[in-house]
Amino acid sequence: MEVIIKPDYEAMSKAAALVVAEILNTKPNAVLGMATGSSPLGVYKELVRLHNDEGLDFSQVTTFNLDEYVGLSIKHSQSYHHFMHENFFRHVNIPSQNIYIPSGTTKNYQAFCQWYEQRIEQCGGIDVQLLGIGSDGHIAFNEPTSSLSSRTRLKTLAKQTIDDNARFFDRREDVPTYAITMGVGTILESRKIVLLASGENKAEVVAASIEGPITSMITASALQLHPSTLFYADEQAASKLKMREYYDWIQEKKPGAPPI
Ligand code: F6R
């Protein structure tokens, strides 16, 4: 895992967007794994800017989103379908048939989840997966005690997550109780992972996931098993890391490292 600490949200978002852009430059038909919430918004903004100003092309790209709330129609203002359309898809040139987001309204969740896993595989697997981290340490909606080899499935949201996400809804009671989410095992199969963490309320789980034991109590800690994860944090989110000096030292010495 490479831990990269940036002074603020904007610097972190731009650096992460550049990683995605570089992958697209070498592989124009890359498969991108998308996340929602506050964390990736800056990345989407920068990717849209690169598309508009520098011609970054998404015409051959395929995308798979991590998760969706159960029970919200795709038109609901807080559905992840709506979020992705508003914040990213409507601004770039990804063919609509190449966009996959879990269904929150299917009649058969088990069959849908199996199909979703199959589609990821048939499309060649995810080249780069964007992730945020919940204040309970979740990645996607893999709440504490989720199996670290879990696949796409229906999950009951933790009360902590419902509290955190209530800020997007009129009332706390409006936050859905269930979600459909890629599993930790699904996420770990992505060839590259780019996680973004910002703000002081993430500091504890950031430190636990990077420097603590691998545990299903903090599903982000499973990323320690992944061979190519870039863990971006801003100053506040990085404030509880014990090995901070070492992470900065690695970044400082990177230009002089022998080529691998
Ligand atoms: C969203 C997702 C979640 C969020 C996490 C952090 O698709 O999978 O794991 O990344 O809850 O949310 P924010 O970024 O809003 O703090």
133, 142, 146, 201: which to mutate for ligand 1, most atoms within 8 A of CB?
133
Q: What is the residue type of 128?
A: V
Q: Indicate if 138 belongs to the active site.
A: yes
Burial class (CB in 10 A: 0-12, 13-18, 19+), 178: middle
Q: Of these residues, 46, 68, 117, 138, which one is catalytic?
A: 138
Give the SS3 label for residue 5: strand
Q: How far is the CA of 256 from the centre of ligand 1 (A)?
A: 35
Domain count, the chain: 1
- Report pTM: 0.98
Residue ranges of the chain with pLDDT lower than 70?
Answer: none
Which residue range forms the structural domain that includes residue 158?
2-256
Strands (E) across 83-208 are located at 99-100, 128-131, 153-156, 178-181, 192-197
Predicted local confidence at residue 259, as pLDDT: 87
CATH number at residue 186: 3.40.50.1360
Atom of ligand 1 nearest to the CA of 165: 15
Burial class (CB in 10 A: 0-12, 13-18, 19+), 172: exposed
- Phi and psi, residue 256, nearest 5°: -90, 0
Q: Indicate if 10 belongs to the active site.
A: no
Q: Indicate if 136 belongs to the active site.
A: yes
Ligand 1 atom 11, closest CA: 134
Angle between helices 9-26 and 41-54 (to 10 degrees): 50
Query: Of 176, 178, 182, 188, which is closest to residue 112 (Cα–Cα)?
Result: 182
